[in-house]
Amino acid sequence: MARISLAETPHDIWVVAEVNEGSVTPLTLETVYGARTMADLMGFYVNAAVLGSGLPDVAQPLIRAGADRVFVIDHSALATFEVELWSKALADVFVAQAPEFVLFGATPAGEALAPRLAQRFVGGFIARCVSLRIDDFDRAFVGKRAVFDGEYYEVVATTGPTPQFATVLPDCFGPPYMDAARSGQTQRLEVDLGDGRLQKSHAVEFEMPRPKLKAAKRIVSAGRQVGNVEAARQLAARLGAEFAGPREAVDEGYIDESQVVGVTGARVSPDLYIALGIRGDSHHAFGIQDARYVVAVYPDADAPIFRQADVAIVGDPATVAVELEQLLSRL
């Protein structure tokens, strides 16, 4: 995808507002308030963008929460949320207005729009922040977000060209102070979206996606020490199980990214998890801690995987896989 460049030097903080049943959402007001506190330290203006069709007048609550200008993009094609159309409208606005920082609420719409726009502008992006600030020296977002399902938090910063993007969770900035004495401007912007209808281009090949690992009831995983990966695949097929593995299995070419179990992949909870040739480091252990029944096969009796296993088999993983498959074939 070609990079989109801004029309002028980037400046100011923008918030993409969401409207529900005629009113600005509480998360939007909190986000505008947070943008205001950051903008005061940077000497920026705060701009809010409101998209839709037949929009009600929602400028005043946005201004009271901290917006200096409210830009209204009202177009019939924006009547319902369509990620490509909304991305196109916002990209056109940002090219013309040149924001330096852009905030979204961590909502389904915000989580769909923010990474797409960050990719189009090749800008930095942080998702689902529980706290957020702007580093005025590096001119970057610095955010804290939960990892490992909230077991601990990490602090990350954006890099790269502007604009910088972030999505924020509720209570990231705290309750907004609604200043009734604040004044601001409202401006309507025109965007070219045509009639908003999708056009047929050409036929494409399509395969039905596999069930997500998180929903799988049976999983057979193969690690670097599996020996014969085809034996593991045949066992998975016999059991009607999903085939997966730890991160190392991607390096070996056994699986792709969608099949990784562990910290950098999926955290799974199958009724049966068979680990073949997986030593069981902490990254993989995190991914299978919710599995109900774990069968582990590994040649080293001291392998960490055995501490999580309900059944521990010390032996050659491929040989055991073949024998299990043959036993099952007789049932």
Give the tens place of pLDDT for each residue, 123-181: 999 999 999 999 988 899 999 998 876 778 999 999 888 899 999 999 999 999 999 99
Least Cα distance to 114 among 166, 188, 183 occurs for 166
Contact 257, 204 (CB under 8 A): no
Task: Pick the closest to residue 292 from 271, 317, 263 (CA basis).
Answer: 271
> Residue 248 pLDDT > 70, yes or no?
yes
Q: State the pLDDT confidence band at 73, using cuts at 50, 70 and 90.
A: very high
For residue 3, pLDDT beyond 60: no
Each residue's pLDDT tens digit, 22-47? 999 999 999 999 999 999 988 899 99
Mean local confidence (pLDDT), 194-214: 67
Q: Specify the range with the lowest mean pLDDT, choosing from 59-68, 166-175, 194-203.
A: 194-203
180: number of Cβ within 10 Å: 7
Q: Supply 204's token pair.
A: 């494409």
User: Is the per-residue pLDDT at 1 higher than 80?
Assistant: no
Cis-peptide into 299, omega within 30 deg: no
Q: Where are the alpha helices (DSSP H) in 183-227?
A: none
Distance of CA 264 to the CA centre of its chain: 13
Domains by residue range for the chain, with CATH: 11-188 (3.40.50.620), 213-326 (3.40.50.1220)
Q: In the predicted model, is pLDDT for residue 209 greater than 90? A: no
Q: Is the pLDDT of residue 2 over 50?
A: no
DSSP string for 93-124? HHHHH-EEEEEEESSHHHHHHHHHHHHHHT--
* pLDDT number for residue 4: 58
Residue 211 pLDDT level (bands cut at 50, 70, 90): low
| Greatest distance between any 2 Cα atoms in the chain | 80
8 pLDDT more than 70:
no
> What is the pTM (predicted TM-score) of this model?
0.61
